């Protein structure tokens, strides 16, 4: 567990039950006599845009270690790719952004992250 004030840019936390990466961090104050708060700009592991959330400096949140692995693209499907882990030879489907989908081809080695069975390709 880590407090909002102790978080760092690039680290991962659990927000609304999903892993999110901290892209930007600001200290903000609301009103004339209110306490300052920490505003985090988050991006979900599963993709999508950046969203912001405001926390008390001492609010605790769960921090997560996200494991990055290398895999080989076996097949390109409609909105995902099929990967093979070169160490265990396990094959599985992984999510991919539209931009990255157009860049990669079958046979390429790519980096992906795995969190509780949710696998998503990262940027090269």
Share of the chain above pLDDT 70, in %: 94
Q: What is the pLDDT of residue 123?
A: 53
Residues of the chain within CATH 2.40.50.140 domain(s) are: 67-121
CATH for the stretch 67-121: 2.40.50.140
**Residue 106 is encoded by which pair of tokens?**
């079958």
Phi and psi at 56, nearest 5°, equal -65, 150
Average model confidence (pLDDT) for the chain? Answer: 86
DSSP state of 100: H
What is the model's pTM? Answer: 0.68
Residues of the chain within CATH 2.30.30.30 domain(s) are: 2-64
The yes/no answer on whether domain 2-64 falls in CATH 2.30.30.30 is: yes
**Residue 47 is encoded by which pair of tokens?**
């993709």
Q: How far apart are CA 10 and CA 113, in angstroms?
A: 14
Alpha helices, DSSP H, located in 1-124 = 98-103
- Among candidate residues 50, 63, 47, 53, the one with its CA nearest the CA of residue 113: 47
Q: What is the pLDDT of residue 119?
A: 82
Question: 124 pLDDT band (50/70/90 cuts)?
Answer: very low
**CB atoms inside a 10 Å sphere around CB 13:** 21
Q: How far apart are CA 82 and CA 37, in angstroms?
A: 42
Predicted confidence (pLDDT) at residue 95 exceeds the cutoff of 60: yes
Question: 42 pLDDT band (50/70/90 cuts)?
Answer: very high
**CB atoms inside a 10 Å sphere around CB 88:** 8
């Amino acid at each position: 567990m880590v407090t909002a004030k102790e978080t760092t840019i690039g680290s991962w936390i659990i927000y609304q039950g999903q892993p999110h990466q901290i892209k930007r961090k600001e200290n903000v104050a609301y009103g004339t006599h209110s306490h300052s708060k920490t505003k985090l700009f988050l991006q979900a592991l599963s993709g999508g845009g950046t969203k912001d959330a405001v926390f008390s400096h001492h609010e605790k949140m769960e921090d997560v270690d996200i494991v990055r692995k290398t895999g080989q693209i076996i097949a390109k499907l409609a909105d995902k790719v099929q990967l093979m882990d070169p160490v265990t030879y396990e094959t599985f489907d992984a999510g991919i952004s539209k931009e990255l989908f157009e860049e990669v081809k079958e046979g390429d080695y790519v980096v992906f992250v795995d969190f509780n069975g949710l696998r998503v390709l990262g940027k090269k």
